[in-house]
Each structure stands twice: as C-alpha cells, then as structure tokens.
Amino acid sequence: MNDNAEPVDHIANARGNVAIRRSFGDRAVWLTCDTVEALLAEIDRGAKSAADEFNSYMDEAVSRSPSPLKMLGEYLAGVLDEDQWKTAERYLNAVAIGAGGA
C-alpha cells in the first residue's frame, strides 16, 4: 500500500454500491441507498407540510372562534396540568370547528 494514498472510505463505497431489487409484478426496481434516503427525505418533507397545513387550519379555526370560547381556552390552559390540557384542547378544537371557526 502506498503511504501517500488517500484512505479509502469503504463505508461510502459500500453504500453507493448496495442496491435492493424489488419486484412489482413483471417490473423490477433497483433502489440504491441514496435513492432510499432521497425517498425518505421526501416523505419527511410531506409529513412536515401536512402537519403545517393542519396547524394553519387549526389556527384559523381558533382565530374565528367566539370570544367566550377563546377566553375559556386561555383559562383552562392556565389551570389544567399538561395531560388534562391535551384532553381539553381536543374538545375546544372540536367546538371551534363546529362553531363555524373554519
């Protein structure tokens, strides 16, 4: 071995060379590690954008809720513990949506 040679990154080489064959009927698809990572990243982006869309929807519903409902939510957020608040928040969100909040 040449002492001046760059070290070989065997893990990177193996990752780049690994492929998985998946059969779908009469078609076969080869997925490399990089392809799988790209697909997982795309799924993750989709999940985040769906969560952002849901949060925007709920923010809109709450903002359009009647004042007494908002005041009740603020009060309950201050007096309930974390577990109780999760349950109360679900009910308040349902009422906000049902009250024509969104």
pLDDT in tens, the chain (102 residues): 455 566 666 666 555 555 555 555 566 666 666 777 777 788 787 778 888 888 888 888 888 888 888 899 899 999 999 889 999 988 988 888 887 644
Q: How far apart are CA 77 and CA 12, in angstroms?
A: 50
Tell me which residue of 38, 18, 20 sits closest to 29, measured CA to CA.
Answer: 20
Q: For residues 54 and 20, what is the distance between their CA atoms, to the nearest angstrom?
A: 35
pTM of the full structure:
0.44
What does the pLDDT look like over 34-43, one tens digit per residue? 777 777 788 7
